[in-house]
Amino acid sequence: MSGAGMRDDVVRIDGAAPVTPSLVEEFQALCDRVEDGLGAGLTTVYVSGTPAGGRSGELSVGLVTKWERVLRRLERLPTPTATVLSGDCGGAALDVALATDFRVAEPGARLVVAVDGDATWPGMALFRLARLSGGAIRRAALLGVPMDASRALTVGLVDAVTVDPGPVLLELAEQSEGLAGSELAIRRQLLADAVRTSFEEALGSHLAACDRTLRRGAGA
Taking only the tens place, the pLDDT of each residue in 80-116 is 899 999 999 999 999 999 999 999 999 999 999 887 7
Q: What is the pLDDT of residue 189?
A: 67
Q: Tell me: pLDDT of 195 over 90.
A: no
**Is the residue at 6 inside a domain?**
no
Integer Cα distance of 77 and 31 in angstroms? 7
Closest of 19, 16, 97 to residue 59, by C-alpha: 19
Q: 135: phi > 0 → left, psi -120 to 50 → alpha, else beta; which?
A: alpha
Q: What is the pLDDT of residue 37?
A: 80
Tell me what the mean pLDDT of segment 212-218 comes to: 80
110-111 vs 147-148, strand pairing mode:
antiparallel
**Is the residue at 21 inside a domain?**
yes
Q: What is the pLDDT of residue 4?
A: 43
**Is the residue at 211 inside a domain?**
yes
**Is the residue at 1 inside a domain?**
no
Q: Tell me: pLDDT of 28 over 60.
A: yes
Domain count, the chain: 1
Tell me what the mean pLDDT of segment 187-216 comes to: 78
Lowest mean pLDDT among 21-25, 175-179, 190-194: 190-194
Identify the domain containing residue 35 by its residue range.
11-219
The DSSP annotation for 128-189 comes to HHHHHHGGGGHHHHHH---EEHHHHHHTTS-SEE-S-HHHHHHHHHHHHTT--HHHHHHHHH
Tell me what the mean pLDDT of segment 40-69 comes to: 86
Please report the sign of the dihedral spanned by the C-alpha atoms of residue 137, residue 131, residue 129, residue 124. negative
Integer Cα distance of 65 and 68 in angstroms? 5
Query: In this structure, are residues 99 and 71 in contact, taking their beta carbons and an 8 Å threshold?
Result: yes
pLDDT bin (cut points 50, 70, 90) of residue 63 is very high
Query: Which of 147 and 86 is assigned the larger pLDDT?
Result: 86
**Is the residue at 97 inside a domain?**
yes
Q: Mean of the per-residue pLDDT values for the chain? A: 84
Say which CATH number the domain at 123 has.
3.90.226.10
Distance from the first to the final alpha carbon of the chain: 46
Query: In this structure, are residues 13 and 96 in contact, taking their beta carbons and an 8 Å threshold?
Result: yes
pLDDT cut 70: percent of the chain above it = 81
Q: What is the pLDDT of residue 184?
A: 72
pTM for the whole structure: 0.78
Q: Tell me: pLDDT of 6 over 90.
A: no
Give the 3-state secondary structure of residue 13. Answer: strand
